[in-house]
Amino acid sequence: MAMVINTNMAAINATRILDKTTVEQSTSMERLTSGLEINGAKDNAAGLAIATGMTSQIRGTDQAIRNANDGISLAQTMDGSMEEVVNMMQRMRELGVQALNGTYSDENRAQMNTEYSQLAAEIKRVGETTSFNDKNLLNGSATQFSVHVGWQVGSANQVKLSTYDALTLGSDLGGLTISTATAASTAITSIDTKLGSINEFRAKWGAVQNRLESTVSNLANVNENMNAARSRIQDADFAKESANLARTQVLQQAGMSMLSQANSNSQNVLSLLR
């Protein structure tokens, strides 16, 4: 090989390889620092696009799970309040049956009616005050609530939860009396009818709760699989990157040594001039 001084091919070659090694080392350090194999579009444009889409689905599904759990809580709130309403209605019916008995005087029935009226007023109060996140549930202001249980838009991802108007219920029952046997009979008939209606609503709420619990379980399973799939695409393999970092560090040291050697070779030309 000719000995020249204007073009040091050995140094150029060593510099090129050293630059490549430095880039590889920088990439491994970035991946080990972030924990991600894909830190930008330059690493894997297609993989980044897929991982970004998966992130949207994962985060949307996380929120859908929270939405479904909120829906369960809302249904439980309504059902719990209506359970107390039913207990009060059962007591009102009991008073009505008592008022039917001919052994009681009108004065006795008036005393029974006082308790009956107070219970009706309490049912009305329950209807006015039962709320969830500042939303009235049982005052008739809303006929249903929509629980969004999907990560995408669309009515297919909404579960409808009907409400019951306990405010009107309390007013209707409060408009009746058990002051006479005839009035008590009318009140009992009305209570029985309304109890049947309430039972239908509570059955629907129970069904919706069971559905939402199944929805939460399914969404959690989907989310687990999506997280695993995204991890395979974008997460860094620490064993692989650690080994690659060690390799590039050795190559970098060797490259620096060879570059130094290549630069010193030019000095050897001077020996020919002595």
pLDDT tens digits for range 103-148: 999 899 999 999 999 999 999 999 999 999 999 999 999 889 999 9
Phi–psi pair at 153, nearest 5 degrees: -80, 170
Position 241 in a domain: yes
* Token pair 């309430």: residue: 198
End-to-end CA distance of the chain: 21
The answer to whether residues 102 and 51 belong to one domain is yes
The answer to whether residues 113 and 230 belong to one domain is yes
Amino acid at 219: L
Average pLDDT over residues 253-271: 73
Which residues on adjacent β-strands are paired with residue 144? 162
Tell me, rounded to whole angstroms, the distance of Cα 263 from its chain centroid: 62
- Which residues, in sequence order, are CB contacts of 38 under 8 Å at separation 6+? 44, 47, 48, 51, 233, 234
The answer to whether residues 163 and 177 belong to one domain is yes
The answer to whether residues 259 and 181 belong to one domain is no
Asked if 30 and 264 count as a contact pair (C-beta separation under 8 A), the reply is no
3-state secondary structure of 236: coil
The answer to whether residues 96 and 52 belong to one domain is yes
According to DSSP, residue 269 is labeled G
Per-residue pLDDT reduced to its tens digit, 138-179: 999 988 999 999 999 988 899 999 999 999 999 999 999 999
Report pTM. 0.78
The answer to whether residues 209 and 259 belong to one domain is no
Tell me the residue range of the domain where 242 lies.
9-35+236-273
The answer to whether residues 118 and 187 belong to one domain is yes
Query: Residue 271: pLDDT above 70?
Result: no
pLDDT band at residue 60, thresholds of 50, 70 and 90?
A: very high
Position 40 in a domain: no
The answer to whether residues 84 and 147 belong to one domain is yes
Overall domain count for the chain: 2
Structure tokens given for 32: 């080990």
The answer to whether residues 139 and 263 belong to one domain is no
Burial 3-28 (b: 16+ CB within 10 A, else e): eeeeebebbeebbebbeebeebbebb
By percentage, how much of the chain surpasses pLDDT 90?
64
CB atoms within 10 A of CB 68: 25
The answer to whether residues 22 and 67 belong to one domain is no
Of 142, 185, 192, residue with least CA distance to 167: 142
3-state secondary structure of 176: coil
The answer to whether residues 90 and 226 belong to one domain is yes
Burial class (CB in 10 A: 0-12, 13-18, 19+), 101: exposed
